[in-house]
Structure 1
Amino acid sequence: MATNAYAAVFRDRKLAVLLLLGYASGLPISLVTSTFQAWATVEGVSLVALGMITLVQQPYTYKFLWAPFMDRYAPPFLGRRRGWLLITQVALIGGIVWMAMYSPGVDITTMALIAVFVAFASASQDVVSDAYRTDMVTSPRERGLISAFFVVGYRMALLVAGALALLMASGTSWLPAIGWQNTYFVMAALMGIGIIGVFWAKEPQGVTPPRNLQEAVFAPLFEFVRRPGALILLAMVILYKVGDAFALSLTTPFLIRGVGFSLEDVAYANKVMALIAALVGVVLGGVLMLRWGLFKSLMVFGILQAISNLGYMVLAVAGKDYAVLYAVIGFDQLAGGMGTASFVALQMALCNPRFTAFQYALISALAALGRVYVGPAAGYMTDPQYMGLPWSTFFFVTFLAALPGLVLLWWKKKTVVALDASTS
């Protein structure tokens, strides 16, 4: 009976839909971050400008501001969730095509502004995808499986928009180069896979939308801020991944310009192998969490994330060494994947089931703060015209940046343990 029940879960088409929606959610972010940085790096854009490119991610930080409107109002077609998903995905296709019409070496400011639009559409899609994923859970045992399918789709999209895009742009022995602009046209076409998912999906039933904007905005907000130690918990959410984000903000320029690896090297190591290591990390993190619980997992994985940043310091000293490259990126992504597993669990535990959509948007947006705002600082720190820190020194600083989040985690140990107990 148990085997038949689990087989029925796997036959449910919503898992395939969530795989497609996860893919649609993951594709745009690389095109406005690491892949965009690689294109700009090849065309000689300064390190300061490369650091500033990370600011285009700001819509991911502020998505909670318009999340209540997308929760309260429904488009006149396909329903409240599927209608907004279709609108955001069409906007993403148009925005990516728009980016492809320019070149960062000549029009970096224009491209950055278009990238902000793409990020806005992508963040809006994430708001709806997260809400849809939550709405489709019919029993607690489904949550892990639903999240896993979504993350697998998301990670596969990172591979497509990362490694495949770099290889398409530069060419390899088995794939002719088509240039950056044509690559972005192809990426826009591949966003159509998400639209297939929208039309294949079923609109969630039995979910009551907010009756007015006051109920959509203020009730979940007041419920959260009235909790004891809420502000410290939010600070911990912001800082937990900041060291990781600091190191990753300039990883692609570091590997290309700082150490001298080619685009093909970066595609295979920093994209393909990194994806495999991250997926292993997510699964391993989930398994270890079953034994260790939320607090111990967050602490151990957070420490490993901090240590992994020192690996890039070793690579900066070692120079163009392929063995060191793969070892450093493999360990970094493995630790990052484990940290992501526990960090997502923390964000879910912080949400009141009555207000998951808005509170998840708020918490995940705050979690993106570090990823967005450390980029400009990283650019100024490493650019020879400004601070000009050696890469080895920069990555040691990123290690230090990971420590405050761990201190706050230790401080709120009892609260996190209680959250774990309340969700078990």
Structure 2
Amino acid sequence: MSDKSAISTPLADPAPAASTRWRDVWRVYTEIATVRMLLLGFSAGLPLLLVFGTLSFWLREAGIDRTTIGYLSWVGLAYGFKWVWAPLVDRLPIPLLTRLLGRRRSWLLLSQTMIVAALVGMALTDPKVALQPVVWCALAVAFGSATQDIALDAFRIESAGTERQAALAAAYQTGYRIAMIWAGAGVLWIAARAEVADAGNYQHGAWQVAYLVMAASMLLGMVTVLLSSEPAARAFTPSRNAAEWFRGALIDPFADFLRRYGKQAMLILALIAVYRISDVVMGIMANPFYVDMGYTKDEVAAVTKIYGVIMTLAGAFVGGALAMRFGVMRVLMMGAALSAGSNLLFAWLGSRGHDVNALIFVISADNLSSGIASAAFIAYLSSLTNINYSATQYALFSSMMLLAPKFLAGYSGKYVDAFGYTNFFTATALLGLPVLILVAFASRLGPRRAD
């Protein structure tokens, strides 16, 4: 690959090829690289809800108050600071393991092993008896998951050219969302099946079984890593001293981004920082909301498992296909509008009482909009990276995507306690308005390529 094609980075929207036929657009989903990314996306998506939404359901059922649950969501700030150790994942070899598997696969396998161990630790601890050990294990899951994301994002970006990134992003997002449903609905379904009759509403043993099954589910990603091939290795100029290594690993990737985009970089970074704010802030209180509205684990699991899966698959694949056909920025705008609008449906759901049909409608709409928005957003972030710094730069972008929303989400429980669920969901929808403005401005910027 030539230097120019290797670091081609459109700022806004790479123009879709006029000759692209719908048959060719959909065929890309059958390629081996796309199927591999589907499986690795599952591995990436599995830990997320286990330390966020699903954990909040578990904690609420165990009698933990909403304010504490909100504060515990700050465990997710590990994802917001992953750019700090991304340069190590990008360049530092793991003794023996890197020689056997390569740089990307070795870090993937190491991080997946850490996730499995920490999930087992969570399963063996009852938060009603001792909350602190659960928090430490959840933090370890988040750290391992963030590290896996760094290595996997680089693996994905280096596995195909720019023209395939939307399809890979859609496959990755589909696997990611399926895993989230398994880690959400699947956990609730397993926990409900593991409960002992007449033993009370809260049974730690049921949650223990569910989390051990989730730990075992990580084996899918580990096997995929072992069976995958390593992307073509990039040769790094040997560093003469620690200062030179630090500059090449940490300073140069950020300087490269600022040099290529100049003043426009601030607009891009602002868009990245707030694009998913509506979904992230709202998501922390979704499961406590279901518990407080009287929905059972079986009801939430069944609705999410059936309708959530269908609409997630539809959203991710439609979002990826539309991005390839019409361009990323148009789909990015549509996804932002749908994501904010779906939060208003939760406010409406709060006025319905215990209404399973309304729950079906709201979860379906929310998963569809989230799938479309995520597929387009991942493709947009991928288009901004210089492949020579893929792990570090993508980690910067994806960290910024979560940092402000996760921090704000920590106060979500306190807000609900003060103003109620309806006002909370409405407020999170309004958070999406600045996003629409930023997408509109970013759409006006022309393509930018590295020199």
Q: CA RMSD in A?
A: 2.6
Q: Are the equivalent residues in 2 in contact too, given 1:71–1:209 (CA < 8 A)?
A: no
- Identify the match of residue 350 of structure 2 among 297, 304, 316: 316
State the partner residue of 2:68.
Answer: 49
Matched AA of 1:392: T
Cα distance, 1:33–1:97 mapped onto 2, change above 3 Å: same
Cα distance in 2, alignment partners of residues 35 and 8 from structure 1: 33
Matched AA of 2:271: M
Matched AA of 2:190: M
State the partner residue of 1:204.
Answer: 231
Q: What whole-Å deviation, never above 9, does each CA across 1:346-389 have from its counterpart, x for those lacking one? A: 21222233322211110011001244223222111112xxx2x1
Cα distance in 2, alignment partners of residues 277 and 165 from structure 1: 19
- Identify the match of residue 340 of structure 1 among 374, 387, 403: 374
State the partner residue of 1:158.
Answer: 180
Question: Which runs of no fewer than 5 residues in structure 1 stay unpaired?
Answer: none
TM-score (norm. length: structure 1): 0.89
Identical residues among aligned pairs (%): 32
Shift, 1:316, TM fit: 0.7
Q: Are the equivalent residues in 2 in contact too, given 1:84–1:125 (CA < 8 A)?
A: yes
Q: Give yes or no for the alignment of 1:67 onto 2:76.
A: no
Matches within 5 A, 1:249-264: 249-257=284-292, 259-264=293-298
Q: Give yes or no for the alignment of 1:99 onto 2:122.
A: yes
Q: Are the equivalent residues in 1 in contact too, given 2:166–2:379 (CA < 8 A)?
A: no
Q: Give yes or no for the alignment of 1:189 onto 2:216.
A: yes
Shift, 1:11, TM fit: 6.2
Matched AA of 2:86: A
State the partner residue of 2:362.
Answer: 328
Cα distance in 1, alignment partners of residues 435 and 224 from structure 2: 37
TM-score (norm. length: structure 2): 0.84
Q: What whole-Å deviation, never above 9, does each CA across 1:178-217 have from its counterpart, x for those lacking one? A: 6001211221122122221122122222422464332121
Q: Are the equivalent residues in 1 in contact too, given 2:162–2:383 (CA < 8 A)?
A: no
Mean CA deviation greater in 282-291 or 366-375 = 282-291
Q: Are the equivalent residues in 2 in contact too, given 1:72–1:213 (CA < 8 A)?
A: no
Shift, 1:222, TM fit: 0.8
Shift, 1:411, TM fit: 3.4
Q: Are the equivalent residues in 1 in contact too, given 2:319–2:371 (CA < 8 A)?
A: yes
Q: Are the equivalent residues in 2 in contact too, given 1:74–1:80 (CA < 8 A)?
A: yes
- Identify the match of residue 21 of structure 1 among 33, 40, 50: 40
Cα distance, 1:201–1:290 mapped onto 2, change above 3 Å: closer
Cα distance in 1, alignment partners of residues 217 and 329 from structure 2: 39
SS of aligned partner of 1:103: coil
Question: Which runs of no fewer than 5 residues in structure 2 stay unpaired?
Answer: 1-20, 196-202, 239-244
Shift, 1:398, TM fit: 0.9
Matched AA of 1:108: L
Q: Are the equivalent residues in 1 in contact too, given 2:281–2:406 (CA < 8 A)?
A: no
Q: Give yes or no for the alignment of 1:265 onto 2:299.
A: yes
Q: Are the equivalent residues in 2 in contact too, given 1:256–1:266 (CA < 8 A)?
A: no
Matches within 5 A, 1:338-417: 338-383=372-417, 387=418, 389-415=419-445
SS of aligned partner of 2:358: helix
